[in-house]
A and B are shown apart, each in its own frame.
Chain A
Amino acid sequence: MKVVEINEVEKTYHDTEVEVRAVNGVTLSFEKGDFAVIVGPSGSGKTTLLNLIGGLDQPTAGEIIVAGHRLSELKPSELIDFRMEHVGFVFQSYNLIPVLTAAENVGFIMSLQKWPKEKRMARTGELLEAVGLADRHNSRPSQLSGGQQQRVAVARALAPRPEFILADEPTANLDSKSAETLLDIMEKLNREEEMTFIFSTHDVRVMKRARRVITLEDGKVVSDERTNHTV
């Protein structure tokens, strides 16, 4: 089943005098359960592509369809609701709301979606357990390590069962051990919850663990390989 379809997508920035074609005619699709990574040199358009898929930005040409929604047809406020309902985001850093505890952060999107309290608490507990932070319910982000913060962010993204999770360089600020732990957790959730993950990365450790590696260069897909890598 296709979760994301990208057809002939282009994104051109002309903020500065020069025109930058950050994404240049990309056609791709992602299947349910994918554990895919987008790699490529700095400036190759990874972040831009992820932003387009996540509905944070609109393409200058082409079409993106997510879970039956043509993103170009959504109004800005509908896009916000679309993201809340269908996309999980994990950013490189500053993912969490500093004044909320780990548990409150995990429950945040569910409370935006007005889940009943009981269900929300149960799901929060389950996920904090899954990311190995069952004992840190009441810790504030400032009391957690970088790796622990990223794990809370993954739990938050996953909590409302989105269509897929987008993670732009989630391990960039982590040491090897924390990065490995985070990847272990994401793999486990990919398996157990059948959650689709789409990353971008520079990190070879991440590339090695992916089952699909898409390489971008100058905004174009230069290769798309499925490795029969199993965990």
Chain B
Amino acid sequence: MKDRQLAWRNLWRNRKRTLITAASVFFAIFFALVMRSFQLGTYDKMYNDVIRSYSGYLQLQHPSYLDEPNLDNVFTVDPELVSRLEQDPNVEAVVPRIESFALAAAGNRTQGVMVIGVEPERESKALNIRNRIVRYKLTTGAIEALKGEDLPGRLEKNIELFTGEAFTEPKDLISVLGISKKDSAVLLPLLRNHTSFPGSYLSAGESGSVIIGNGLSDYLEAVPGDTIVLIGQGYHGTSAAGLYVVKGVVSMPNPEIDNRFVCLTLDDARWLYGAPDMATSAIIGIKDGGDKELAATQQRLGAIAGEDLAVRNWKEMNALLLNQMEADNRSGAIMIGILYLVIAFGVFGTVLMMMAERRREFGMLVSIGMRKGRLAAIVGLEMLLMGIIGMIAGVIASLPIVFLGHARPLRFTGEMARMYEDYGFDPVMPMLLPDTFYLWQMAVVLLILAVAIAFSIRKIFKMNVINALRA
């Protein structure tokens, strides 16, 4: 009889207890992994959204701009410096821009907006505004028209929930509306027909046009072709005002940005704010945005940029967002900690009960000649197996959910979506694919098991055979 056979049989002598304990480990790690994947995936998405659509990974700025982001802290763009920065192996492009505030008015509505001036054709090397142009939109009119068509039952009932949603590509329409492959062949032409939305991106050298965020477009009730007024303060306190035609609408992932986004050409922005040849920042498009490579790149570029300019990374520029996520992360960790604490007590309870029940048996085994070390190894193996069965089952069970949640992120609609947007979050919660966080959760479970095993091994070594036999 091999020790591991003996351990395996012992494991199933109290089948119910073993299963309950393994199940508790299963549920703990399962919930911890799913929860963690949700949290980390959501952070990841937020960071990516903000990096891809707004701040970029790195920016070249006036040294004071980080603390006082206003038009007094601008710098003159030196084309020679730009080309030197662009020679760095990790740099895709350096794209100067002007970023400031203004009041936007259309009809009888006004809204405080952020104004971004970019070079339209170069912008896409760092950010991706071009690919966010809204081509399809579920306006009230579009929904009315669609309801006149023959829609699948579920969609017919729910379509109003999607009012105001905007899309850049037909495939987004399909996935957000949850249309099956089967139906999409018939529905897609219908949808394209009724929901198509006018507008296009800025072209180089164009003057007097703006692109606005979808949220702002809704608020101002301004669609492509309409005119808006921008009023603000320019460089060194000059007044800035201009009249612009809305050329297109973009859907920005972060609602905070989407509701306030106005984009025009860099030349128009310089003209509007009276700051020729200047920029508030230059976004540095990066090939590899991994933490380590980014830090190295930041260092190299900082040396090239010299004392008069600063190279900032996305973490420095988005400190507020990072803090918010950090706080959320901590509360998540506490919840998981409590979950594990409960499990630890459960596992410990099982160990205590098992040790008490088998005291006589252990006494008998050591009496007839089993070394304590060997007995401890068998008992330890039993508990390890019990825990690992639960752990592996939990990990396996989490995988389909995590992969599904990654491929088809949970997307809130209606009231829930509005609530998220009010807090400045995109109502989409993608899950993060298995990563080091999986290893961490598994390590915690193994640690709990290790403590329980250490406890029982100690008990076995301290056992007095005579007392155990008398038990």
Chain A residues within 8 Å of B, Cβ to Cβ:
51, 54, 56-57, 77, 80-81, 83-85, 89, 91, 94-95, 97-100, 104, 107-109, 111-112, 156-157
* 17 residue pairs A–B, Cβ–Cβ below 8 Å: A51-B466, A56-B367, A56-B469, A80-B369, A81-B371, A83-B368, A85-B369, A91-B367, A94-B361, A98-B361, A99-B10, A100-B6, A108-B1, A108-B368, A109-B368, A109-B369, A112-B369
Bound CA span A111–B10, Å: 18
Q: Given A56-B466, A104-B1, A111-B1, is A97 in contact with B367 using a C-beta cutoff of 8 Å?
A: no
Bound CA span A18–B175, Å: 82
Determine if B371 and A80 form an interchain contact, defined as CB atoms under 8 angstroms apart: yes
The DSSP consensus for interface residues of chain B is: helix
Partner of B360, one of A81, A85, A94: A94
Q: Is B13 an interface residue (CB 8 A)?
A: yes
Determine if B367 and A83 form an interchain contact, defined as CB atoms under 8 angstroms apart: yes
Determine if A107 and B368 form an interchain contact, defined as CB atoms under 8 angstroms apart: no
Q: Given A91-B469, A108-B1, is A97 in contact with B372 using a C-beta cutoff of 8 Å?
A: no
Q: Given A51-B466, A107-B1, A108-B1, is A80 in contact with B366 using a C-beta cutoff of 8 Å?
A: yes
CB-defined contacts of B360 to chain A, threshold 8 Å:
94
CB-defined contacts of B361 to chain A, threshold 8 Å:
94, 97-98
Residue of A nearest to B360 (CB): A94
Bound CA span A100–B13, Å: 11
CB-defined contacts of B465 to chain A, threshold 8 Å:
56-57
Partner of A89, one of B6, B367, B371: B367
Q: Is B364 an interface residue (CB 8 A)?
A: yes
Q: Given A98-B13, A104-B1, is A80 in contact with B466 using a C-beta cutoff of 8 Å?
A: no
Q: Is B9 an interface residue (CB 8 A)?
A: yes
CB-defined contacts of B466 to chain A, threshold 8 Å:
51, 56-57
Partner of B9, one of A89, A99, A111: A99
Q: Render B359-379 as a binary contact track against A, CB cut-off 8 A, 1 for contact.
A: 011001111111110000000
Task: Output the residue of B13, B361, B365, B368 with the most chain A CB within 10 A.
Answer: B368
The 7 closest A-B CB pairs, nearest first, are: A84-B369, A99-B9, A94-B360, A83-B369, A57-B466, A89-B368, A89-B367
Residue of A nearest to B10 (CB): A99
Known: A83-B367, A99-B6. 7 other contacts (CB 8 A): A80-B372, A85-B369, A89-B368, A91-B364, A95-B364, A97-B361, A98-B361
Partner of B1, one of A56, A81, A100, A156: A100
CB-defined contacts of A83 to chain B, threshold 8 Å:
367-369
CB-defined contacts of A54 to chain B, threshold 8 Å:
367
Residue of A nearest to B2 (CB): A111
Interface residues on B, range: 10 to 19
Bound CA span A83–B368, Å: 6
Bound CA span A156–B1, Å: 14
Shortest B168–chain A CB gap in Å is: 64
CB-defined contacts of B369 to chain A, threshold 8 Å:
80-81, 83-85, 109, 112
Residue of B nearest to A48 (CB): B466
CB-defined contacts of B367 to chain A, threshold 8 Å:
54, 56, 83, 89, 91
Task: Output the residue of B6, B366, B372, B469 with the most chain A CB within 10 A.
Answer: B469
Shortest A73–chain B CB gap in Å is: 18
Bound CA span A77–B10, Å: 25
Residue of B nearest to A113 (CB): B369
Bound CA span A56–B364, Å: 11
Bound CA span A99–B8, Å: 10
Partner of B370, one of A51, A57, A95, A112: A112
Shortest B386–chain A CB gap in Å is: 15
Shortest A70–chain B CB gap in Å is: 19
Q: Render B1-17 as a binary contact track against A, CB cut-off 8 A, 1 for contact.
A: 10000100110010000
Shortest A221–chain B CB gap in Å is: 21
Task: Output the residue of A57, A99, A100 with the most chain B CB within 10 A.
Answer: A99
CB-defined contacts of A80 to chain B, threshold 8 Å:
366, 369-372
Bound CA span A167–B48, Å: 76
CB-defined contacts of A77 to chain B, threshold 8 Å:
371-372
CB-defined contacts of A109 to chain B, threshold 8 Å:
368-369
Bound CA span A20–B365, Å: 28
Bound CA span A98–B9, Å: 10
CB-defined contacts of A111 to chain B, threshold 8 Å:
1
Task: Output the residue of A91, A109, A111 with the most chain B CB within 10 A.
Answer: A91
Bound CA span A51–B465, Å: 10
Determine if A84 and B364 form an interchain contact, defined as CB atoms under 8 angstroms apart: no
Bound CA span A207–B1, Å: 37
Residue of A nearest to B368 (CB): A89
Task: Output the residue of B1, B365, B466 with the most chain A CB within 10 A.
Answer: B1
CB-defined contacts of A108 to chain B, threshold 8 Å:
1, 368
